[in-house]
Structure 1
């Protein structure tokens, strides 16, 4: 079976339809995107040991029991703050794995990378399920957090280079479709996990371990199908009827040459794009973390028709507004997903630099509008601003691979994108730290809860301003950084491109892709995505009822 994973086996013959590749990418991204939805497990896991002993509440650890103690304890339940380390490790190892093994991916091919991603992500979940059964948190950290995080990194970047080569005429749209799947993974996985935990729950089990096993096995089948669905074009392939730009002067921001991934750390444009992504993600991820509590604390009782501040609400009323806030969060996830496809596709028309400028300017206006809409009590303007902001957050993720291909060429764009994802890991720490610190500081000086977020919004606007300046500073990459013809030929040799061309020429095979095959492939990813959108829309309706 292993020889089927070799890059030589993934070359597409004449007649292969490129529209079969995006569903393969979506199949992998929809599975690994569940990383965003792992918080659905925290509450059940925080009382798993107590329930296993027939209790209705968690068995609390000793007050002096720290993180290290909770890694190995079998006598008390884990705290939610401790469980949150799995979420942090997801994105730390995603960025690290993508940066470390991006070059290997370019040479090994997307199919092998996708298969390794499936083994790591699903194997990590199975190992974590065993950790839940044995009540050993270190096993969950190693399984889902570390091994699973490596699978996240490889799976996330596996389709980037391939899609850009299949869609040189629509780079933004192609990568937007795939990365949209990462945003949609939690939209499908969270309600699925909730239903499975409800099904497996018993008086002595919260059902999380069983849910992990079922989801891991299902994800493995889906991801392997996606990996085997990857095909790469011959090196001289171009879309029928498309004419490449005749000269670089036609659009100076889109190069026809390529940069070696080993050189990108020293290129100014790489660090400018790094800052563009880091600032956009820092602002967005910081806002995501405070969206739900901010809605509850700002609008408080008015969300349920009661004229009370947040501190005046009783327990039943707090539960009611929490339900409304859950609908708000669901609505934001829809705009996060939709923005990934919309803004990335728009960048094919406007160009990447102009699109990011528009994202930062529009985003800054929305951030600045939030304090005034909150003060005026306008729920519609408040929610509208957040929806646009989340679409910008998702759009920034989806547009950046095409930006990299424009600047650095398509030969090693997957590896370069992997190194750029260290900006995501940085932003995952920077954004929440700034937001949480400012909130605590504002509360400490006595500001009402409804006003503690105002200064934070202006700080996040400042981050977008930094990103805008960095984006405006980006210029075409200097000639000295591009590979010479000899270096490019050597890189293609290492990537087996000449071998791939000879394989397809010697076989003389012709692949005819039927319309039915394309429809079935898209249904395989479209139906779960539609189901997730439906469940999310149902939850979002609570905001307006």
Structure 2
């Protein structure tokens, strides 16, 4: 009897009743997901039927039939429910401006990535603390961490764009918070243990994933809230991101000062009691203490000038006995950003189905359009016709002024992410975006280092460590202003014309070498002011590239799948970060080596040997061990020898200008996707443009890719 009952239930795919005391395995589509809690059967208040975490239906498949079960939700499901798409749907009449603060909190947190250059120099002296020791990382090893972070950004946005659209902005932002904070924590551990791979794994991988998810979470959502002002929407979504470093720069500096511990002072060279400093076979500066040979760094005026006089003085310091403060700063930031981002994620809201803002263009002041019967004429026909909701995708944004020249016509039909990849417009926009971003991301990744190298020696009274940090914050303000300003301007200029305007960064890059040579030959504040202004504008253009991008995508491929397409397009950002900062590091390294060789040729070999304890023939070994630097060679060079440091970035700026010019050519080749291509790729058409077709509910799921 029991065996027969089991066989019957197996065929039906069901389960035995409570009286039969037999519980069969559920069908595949009903397993592994949060299932509906039947409140009538258990006498308790229920949570919304069929809900689950991360946007799937109660049965785990949006296309599978719903099946109510008696599984009681656990504590984890209750805790995760506020982050689901269903919980984040706004009620009718919700004020769309209330969505902005939550996006700002998330974007401000991940926007601190633009303050990375604050950590460049401290990370190159984790062991020496006052000055780089032989075992410290080179700048060329530290700068690419930012590039690795951006590469992870591109990978995650490319692969997770559809998932982000499906689960909604709350779940995405919460996941971003976990990745970003854990990445900073791992980076702090890497600093403590002086393990470079941990920095790449923490900041580069985990931090990059948090950056990606935090970045894309509000963009498509705000465009859906503001379909009548797509440029403004994307600008608002990303303005706080661009300005994140305005807060992060002074915060990072303050945290590193609080956690800074000076190394042990052995003595002052030339004074009684200071042990003799000599150079070992590896080119390191060492002393003998208690019968042991230990590495030291000799801090002169140029090294000590970076620190407070109360903390550091000129002398000989023991390597490995202090703390640069970077590890403590990363760990503190990890906790702070986790709380901030989780709170911001809960403020996000998804617009209700068929949402149209009041007074939006194309909606005619109402949320409905006459159905097909009304179009035939006659009051009776109009009364009998069904009202078809006007989807937000049907709203036509403002058109550029005719006198501004030809621009793109916003597409009323939408391609999915897979279909967009099969158009030439996608790759042209990718190239235009990548090339236009290279100069900005290169300057941002090494902003503090560039300012110090180019102007600190010539203008030491002005360009201090605090001034260089303020410069980083000012560039972040430029990034923020560019994101809001250029995104809003693109609503008037048109996206293509806006990208043409951003190509003006090329001549600005060409002007930088002229300014650095000027300050080297005739020190004055004028080239500093002009350099500050030129790089400020270049970074504002960089911010404009990415704030205009979502609206550019919506104009080319339609609004329906902006999030998924935007995620794939952001691989261009990774391309820019993978090209610019490493290129800067390589070109600067070549220029630095050439400058050392030119200076060494002007130095007396005997004086060189007396100063560094090794012959001039060992120049490259001593440079690799950080024993010989440009500033130390200048002390031995003939009077009047110019400092070559400001010229280290000439070749980098020439290269950036060439890439920007190529990006302008790619933008010039962009045109609307032809109608026949849209037909071949089966582009989605809004219900308002197909009166006989019922309106679709926006579930957040991407349309399936179709073969052409």
Aligned with 1:97 (options 156, 169, 178): 156
Matches within 5 A, 1:25-174: 25-48=103-126, 60-61=134-135, 81-174=140-233
Counterpart of 1:333 in structure 2 is 476
> How many residues are aligned here?
465
Counterpart of 1:270 in structure 2 is 426
Matches within 5 A, 1:196-215: 196-202=255-261, 205-215=323-333
Q: CA deviation at 1:213?
A: 3.2
Q: CA deviation at 1:491?
A: 9.7
Matches within 5 A, 1:304-343: 324-343=467-486
Structure 1's 83 and 177: CA in aligned 2 closer, same or farther, altered over 3 A?
same
TM-score (ref. length: structure 1): 0.75
Higher relative CO (CA 8 A, sep ≥ 6), structure 1 or 2? 1
Aligned with 2:667 (options 467, 471, 474): 471
Q: CA deviation at 1:330?
A: 3.8
TM-score (ref. length: structure 2): 0.59
SS at 2:440's partner residue? helix
Which structure is higher in helix share? 1
Aligned with 1:4 (options 48, 66, 82): 82
Q: CA deviation at 1:347?
A: 0.8
Alpha-carbon separation, structure 2, partners of 1:124 and 1:292: 23
Matches within 5 A, 1:198-347: 198-202=257-261, 205-244=323-362, 253-288=409-444, 303=459, 324-347=467-490
Q: CA deviation at 1:431?
A: 2.2
| 8 A contact 1:260–1:483 mirrored in 2 | no
Query: Residue 495 in 1 paired to residue 495 in 2?
Result: no
Q: CA deviation at 1:209?
A: 3.8
Answer with 370-379 or 158-167: which moved more: 370-379
Alpha-carbon separation, structure 2, partners of 1:39 and 1:293: 7
Q: Deviations over 1:229-249 (max 9, x none)?
A: 111112311111112288979
Alpha-carbon separation, structure 1, partners of 2:416 and 2:356: 22
Q: Deviations over 1:65-90 (max 9, x none)?
A: xxxxxxxxxxxx55554444432321
Counterpart of 1:363 in structure 2 is 505
Counterpart of 2:376 in structure 1 is none
Q: CA deviation at 1:119?
A: 1.1
| 8 A contact 2:186–2:199 mirrored in 1 | yes
Q: CA deviation at 1:409?
A: 1.5
Alpha-carbon separation, structure 2, partners of 1:438 and 1:126: 32
Q: Deviations over 1:417-453 (max 9, x none)?
A: 1111111111112223444555566774979666665
SS at 1:163's partner residue? helix
SS at 2:116's partner residue? helix
Structure 1's 357 and 78: CA in aligned 2 closer, same or farther, altered over 3 A?
closer
Query: Residue 396 in 1 paired to residue 545 in 2?
Result: yes
Structure 1's 228 and 303: CA in aligned 2 closer, same or farther, altered over 3 A?
same
Counterpart of 1:351 in structure 2 is 494
SS at 1:303's partner residue? coil
Alpha-carbon separation, structure 2, partners of 1:178 and 1:432: 26
Q: Deviations over 1:268-296 (max 9, x none)?
A: 11111101111111122334457666666
Aligned with 1:19 (options 87, 97, 116): 97
Alpha-carbon separation, structure 2, partners of 1:452 and 1:132: 28
Alpha-carbon separation, structure 2, partners of 1:470 and 1:22: 33
